[in-house]
Chain A
Amino acid sequence: MEFTAAIDIMPLDALLDPQGKAVTSSMSNLGLSEITNVRIGKHITLKVTAASKAEAEQKVDEACKKLLANQIMEKYSFTIEALAEA
């Protein structure tokens, strides 16, 4: 079976995110000072072949741990959906 995964990788809450901070401060220039705490991460999508959803989750988790995220500075979360058979 084929699945698609949508992965979000974000800087850890404890870390300063200079990019997010710069964007936060520009919000007031837009007249949107109600918007605060902008934090910027990465969104990754991929396709994975696996026998079950659980197996697909396990493979994506391994990819996140080993390569896609650096857990010293980032956290990740993902959702997985089965691709409709053609």
Chain B
Amino acid sequence: MKFGVVIFPGSNCDEDLIYTFETILGQEVVRLWHKDTDLQGVDFVLVPGGFSYGDYLRSGAIARFSPIMESVIEHCNNGGYAMGICNGFQILCEAGLLPGTLLHNTNHKFICKNVYLKPATRSTICTAALDSDEVLNIPIAHGEGRYYASQEVLKQLNENQQVIFRYCDKDGVFNKESNPNGSLENIAGVCNEGKNVFGMMPHPERAADEWLRNTDGRKIFDSILASVAVAK
């Protein structure tokens, strides 16, 4: 499977993703420069975290109109896989590839800490190989991560099992205290209706290397690899 990591001016988790997929997971990875339009035949596009275009105007708003994104949108509309992490999630929402949007955290602070989350469905490749009761400890680092969508969209997300992760406490209970940013219904990640485009605020690539003594994030990537191999 060939992965492509998109690099915008201001991306800062691109190398972490490349290291995780290339060195730790042994996959073929190419860099996709924001000014290019050629996806180089990748099967899976990864949109990294960071502060693309300085987060000017709104997070992800300007990145969404860069040349590479036209190709990413086409790839996704043709059923190709894509995953956005943190700023990548914001960009995919701005591009209309994922439902909803991400607002300033309720406390209006940049929050950088480890949080707990749990898969909300096993119907996606990101979560298929996870234990549905398994609590993952994964870091977040964002100022604008409060997931919001209209009630109508939210209802649709729940009915179609498009919520992929929710924040919870260490025992796996979803409650207000374990919601770090004020996201609706503790939502930490969602996918599109076709379940080929994913977005999440927590950073699994920052919890994938044994040297960091936390490899909970790797489980999500392992799930993707295992599911896609089966799908083929």
Asked if A and B bind, the verdict is yes
List chain A positions with a Cβ less than 8 A from chain B: 15-16, 18-19, 22, 67-68, 70, 72-73
With both chains docked as a complex, state the minimum distance between the C-beta of A74 and any C-beta of chain B, in angstroms: 8
| B128 interface contact, C-beta 8 A | no
With both chains docked as a complex, state the minimum distance between the C-beta of A76 and any C-beta of chain B, in angstroms: 12
Q: List 23 A-B contacts (CB under 8 A).
A: A15-B103, A15-B148, A16-B106, A16-B182, A18-B104, A18-B106, A18-B107, A18-B108, A19-B104, A19-B108, A67-B57, A67-B61, A67-B65, A68-B57, A70-B58, A70-B61, A70-B94, A70-B101, A72-B148, A72-B149, A72-B150, A73-B101, A73-B103
Known: A18-B106, A19-B108, A67-B65. A72 touches B57 (CB 8 A): no
The B86-111 residues at the A interface (CB cut-off 8 A) are 94, 100-101, 103-108
With both chains docked as a complex, state the minimum distance between the C-beta of B69 and any C-beta of chain A, in angstroms: 13
- A16 / chain B contacts, CB cutoff of 8 Å: 106, 182
With both chains docked as a complex, state the minimum distance between the C-beta of B154 and any C-beta of chain A, in angstroms: 12
With both chains docked as a complex, state the minimum distance between the C-beta of B110 and any C-beta of chain A, in angstroms: 13
- B104 / chain A contacts, CB cutoff of 8 Å: 18-19
- What are the 10 closest A-B residue pairs judged by CB atoms, nearest first? A18-B108, A72-B101, A73-B101, A18-B106, A18-B104, A70-B101, A70-B58, A73-B103, A19-B108, A73-B148
A68 to B58 alpha-carbon distance, docked (Å):
9
- A67 / chain B contacts, CB cutoff of 8 Å: 57, 61-62, 65
Beyond the given pairs A67-B65, A70-B58, A72-B148, 5 more chain A to chain B contacts, judged by CB atoms under 8 angstroms and listed by A's residue number, are A15-B103, A15-B148, A18-B106, A67-B57, A70-B94
A80 to B104 alpha-carbon distance, docked (Å):
30
Known: A67-B61, A67-B65. A72 touches B107 (CB 8 A): no
A19 to B144 alpha-carbon distance, docked (Å):
12
- Per-residue 0/1 for B40-66: is the Cβ within 8 Å of any A Cβ (1 yes, 0 no)? 000000000000000001100110010
The B143-176 residues at the A interface (CB cut-off 8 A) are 148-150
